[in-house]
Amino acid sequence: MTKNNLRLLLALLLTAPAGAAELTLPTLGAIRAKAYGVDGAAPRFLPAAYRTENGPAWEDPYLRQIAPKPPPNLDQAQVSALIQRMVDMERAQTGKVTLSKENVQALVVRLVQMDTHFVDQIDSKKWDGILKGAGDAMEAEYKASKGNWNKVIETGITASVKGLKDPHSVYFNEAQLKAFMDSMKGTFVGIGAGIAEDPKGIKLETIYPGSGAETAGIKSGDVVTHINGAPIAGMKTEDIIKQLRGDENTVVTVTVERGGVAQKPIKITRKAVKMPTAFSKMAASGVGYVYWNQFGDGSDAAVIDHVRRLKSQGAKSVILDVRGNPGGLVSSVSAIASEFMKDGQEIVSFRRQGQVVFKHVAQGNGQFADMPVAVLTDDGSASASEILAATMQDQRKGYAVIGSRSYGKGTQQSILPGADAGGLKVTESRWHRPNGGNIDAQHDPATGEKVKGTGGVMPDIDVQVPEDQARKIAQQTANELMGRPVPNRVADPVLDKAIEVLTSAGKAG
């Protein structure tokens, strides 16, 4: 690749559309699928129960694609220097240049997307640091992969995103993107277990009903130490997951420790797994309870249906438990929140560099707008969970939020396609609650790590639970979600306080 060809390519890339149309949030007229019946019955589609109102910073995504703005801060000289560094490095080591225009395009598109989409401006000085770090990482990967440019470019993109020092922006390669999208759908093909990191390999915390793991006799708490005879201690979690997943009806052999004792190798047949995501019950006379573990595809329909059924069973008030819920789709939380609100009430607004991009507003009176509600939170309640808690706190009277300070993620991300097969999940805006506040935690400018004790939704009633007790509560909730018995049930003071408050509210009303 000559310098003239490189300059021409970069000039074209820095003014061309940065990939296909991005994933965007729904606008007025968006639809929400609600499936009724069983065995694949055709779903009915209902209008979303909220509307989107665009603000001064909103840009039409179609126009943004066909007539994109040039990157505001990243300039051709900076990108050219990085690419030329790679060319010179390879020529010095091998005497030739195999870096292709497709490789260059994959990298440059991602850099342009970062510059044009990131919530905060990336000034020229910061870009210098990001590109130097990316170049260092790429040179190391070139040597480690023996000149595999696909891996080198992926490493460069990953290092560039890390240079933003934003904990929620990340680059997914093709396999990681598929795993992420599967997690949002609540389906995947694998052994069927919820996992946690463990020094010896990986711990199987939850075994899903009807899964291959359950059929093979795997127990909650088992620690996988070997897969197909090979030890996995020290491996990255994503690499372990890749080995446990695979095509349906294929077999994987695992060795587990149970109670510290190694067991004989166990063959597990991989199956399509549909993870349970929500359950409900009557927590007390007149008080319903709904728990769900993410705001994914179909979560809004499931939660609304659970509340509707609880109401038919005599519930006069409802507890919405989002403890440990990391969030998910904005469309899902807005649809849920809207059912507890009056027409025209604001749910949430999104701002970029201080200007409103758009906001979600309840459209029509929600079917539960007059139903007393309590939202349970803890430090694992993040993102969409915090939107729900903050909205109920601002728009509903009474003790709306009970528990402890939530995580403090007040930003919104989009996943952008590009010239490669992966996806760039980048922070595009900050969300603001109806009272105008933003709950995003402070972050260390050097590392991007969250500063403990900052941000989050503060509960109306603070109920602190010892860590060990909170872990046991979470496990028994997971057992209920899976439809399993809950032996030796531990007290749940947060739930008890919500029942007390809502019962008193019912008597007062």
The pLDDT assigned to 506 comes to 63
The pLDDT assigned to 205 comes to 84
Give the pLDDT band of residue 5 (cuts 50, 70, 90).
low
Is 26's pLDDT higher than 50? Answer: no
Is 45's pLDDT higher than 80? Answer: no
CB-based burial, 109-125: b 16+ in 10 Å, e otherwise:
bbbbbbbbbbbeebeee
| Mean pLDDT over each residue of the chain, to the nearest integer | 86
Give the pLDDT band of residue 274 (cuts 50, 70, 90).
confident
The pLDDT assigned to 340 comes to 96
3-class DSSP assignment, residue 404: coil
Three-state SS string over 8-43 comes to HHHHHHCCCCCCCCCCCCCCCCCEEEECCCCCCCCC
The pLDDT assigned to 18 comes to 37
For tokens 């979690």, the residue is 237
CA dihedral 51, 57, 62, 68 (to 10 degrees): -170
CB-based burial, 337-358: b 16+ in 10 Å, e otherwise:
bbbbbeeebbbbbbbbeeebbb
Delineate the domains of the chain, giving CATH numbers in brackets: 3-47+57-171 (no CATH), 187-274 (2.30.42.10), 278-348+366-408+441-508 (3.90.226.10)
Is 314's pLDDT higher than 90? Answer: yes
The pLDDT assigned to 276 comes to 83
Q: Residues 348, 436: contact at Cβ < 8 Å?
A: no
pLDDT in tens, 360-417: 999 999 999 999 999 999 999 999 999 999 999 999 977 789 999 999 999 999 899 9
Is 46's pLDDT higher than 50? Answer: no
Is 182's pLDDT higher than 90? Answer: no
The pLDDT assigned to 446 comes to 85
The pLDDT assigned to 273 comes to 82
Least confident of 171-185, 231-245, 282-296, 322-336: 171-185
Is 35's pLDDT higher than 90? Answer: no
Q: Residues 410, 428: contact at Cβ < 8 Å?
A: no
Top pLDDT among 502 and 28 is at 502
Distance CA 235, CA 113 (A): 31
Q: Residues 50, 360: contact at Cβ < 8 Å?
A: yes
Integer CA distances (angstroms), 11 to 7, 203, 417, in order: 6, 50, 21
The pLDDT assigned to 25 comes to 31
* HSE-up (13 A, CA, CB side) for residue 355: 8
The pLDDT assigned to 39 comes to 28
Top pLDDT among 355 and 107 is at 107
The pLDDT assigned to 92 comes to 95
Rounded average pLDDT over 148-168 = 96
Cβ neighbourhood burial of 36 (10 Å; 0-12, 13-18, 19+): exposed
Helix axes 3-13, 76-94, angle to 10 degrees: 140
Which residues, in sequence order, are bridge partners of residue 462? 403
* HSE-up (13 A, CA, CB side) for residue 338: 24
Least confident of 42-51, 106-115, 141-150, 379-388: 42-51
3-class DSSP assignment, residue 185: helix
Q: Which of 380, 292, 299, 305 is nearest to 334 (CA)?
A: 299
Rounded average pLDDT over 285-305 = 94
The pLDDT assigned to 44 comes to 28
Give the pLDDT band of residue 59 (cuts 50, 70, 90).
low
* Percent of the chain predicted with pLDDT > 90: 67
